[in-house]
Amino acid sequence: MVVPTGIGCAIGGFAGDAIPSARLLAAATGCLITHPNVMNAASLYWSDPRIHYLEGYALDRFAAGEWAFRPIRLQRIGLLLDLDIESELLQRHLQVADACRAALGLEIGPVVTTDVPLGVHLEKGESGASWGTLERPDALLRAGERLRDLGATAIAVVARFPDDPHSDDLTAYRHGEGVDALAGAEAVISHLLVRHLRMPCAHAPALDPLPLDPQLDPLAASEELGHTFLACVLVGLSRAPDLLGADQPQVGAITADQLGAVVAPAGALGGEAVLACLERRIPLIAVENASVHSVTARALGLQDGVLHARSYAEAAGLLLALREGLSPTTLERPLPALQRLS
């Protein structure tokens, strides 16, 4: 299940609002692979052994057949903190990590702070999608390498993001519209670490708490519950699978050859994971899920191998049909008669 980040999807464009859909697809298939954008809900989370949590870059490499993954019971999560985080806000994040140790039994540590501030900048493309840059990516990679060398098997990153509590984009987001302005920069951070270290990684932004908004939309409510967004990242990473390259033993691993289908928004089909699955002739279920993108099957000239669903509930039905060996076309009406070739 792929829901690209930072493009304002109606489902999956907010913190954790795609979790109900992911749970449904996991129930329909028995095994769902998805990424943090789908599962992270700030102070909220949902742990399901049928759902495998792969960072977006790792998901792309998996779909292309370059990497595999192996489910495990528990990761040792190293905590990577941006030097730019103020002392009180830093302490809030450390307390969340301690709470996850005490209440959930997670293995967290060591904790490393970058040697210089990361310098996060937020940007927006012409399409309206969000992205971002880092002034010091080298500092991020050095801290990640240090955590790996100290024994961490997964990395949770907390970078200081710019505060802009009165921006129009943030107001629109809190009222259930527009694009998550932070998501694109978050993807840059996690992609960079995963590409460099081939370790499970996910990111939580450090921000000052926002003033109360009585008109808050339910879709944005999960981000208003606490001082940090770290809890969901720690839970997701705690059972994130190990990432395996082609040069590593594949015993017990899940590979792209085992994929039965890929589910993605109908207007966001240009991503690497989706295109890699189509190349491998893996069925694509394109779900109506509006965003700022319009990369549709028609725009890509795709005819075969694409099934269309009006909702994730309908996508779950199509997945059940594929799982049971039913042709989805036989479920539609009218059912055209076969035509004999001359």
What tens digit of pLDDT does each residue of 216-242 get?
A: 999 999 988 888 999 999 999 999 999
Query: Would residue 6 be called left, alpha or beta, if left means φ above 0 and alpha means ψ between -120 and 50 degrees?
Result: left
What tens digit of pLDDT does each residue of 194-215 get?
A: 999 999 999 999 999 888 899 9
Q: Is the pTM of this model over 0.85?
A: yes
Quote helix, strand, coil % in the chain, to nearest 5. Answer: 35, 20, 45
**Beta carbons within 8 Å of 56's beta carbon, 6+ residues apart:** 5, 35, 36, 37, 187, 190, 191
User: Which amino acid belongs to residue 175?
Assistant: H
Task: Decide if 313 contacts 285 (C-beta within 8 A).
Answer: no
pLDDT value for 164? 84
pLDDT value for 276? 95
Question: Confidence class of residue 166 from pLDDT cuts 50, 70 and 90?
Answer: confident
Question: Confidence class of residue 76 from pLDDT cuts 50, 70 and 90?
Answer: very high
In angstroms, the Cα distances linking 163 to 49, 84, 136, 236, 338 are 36, 13, 19, 26, 61
**Beta carbons within 8 Å of 23's beta carbon, 6+ residues apart:** 46, 48, 51
pLDDT at 30 over 80: yes
Measured N-to-C along each axis, helices 137-149 and 183-197 cross at an angle, to the nearest 10 degrees, of 50
What tens digit of pLDDT does each residue of 241-251 get?
A: 999 998 888 88
Residue 119 CA to residue 330 CA, distance in Å, equals: 55
pLDDT value for 247? 86
In this structure, which topology does domain 40-62+69-245 adopt according to CATH?
Rossmann fold (3.40.50)
Please give the backbone phi and psi of residue 85, each rounded to the nearest 5 degrees, phi first.
-75, 125
Domain ranges of the chain: 40-62+69-245
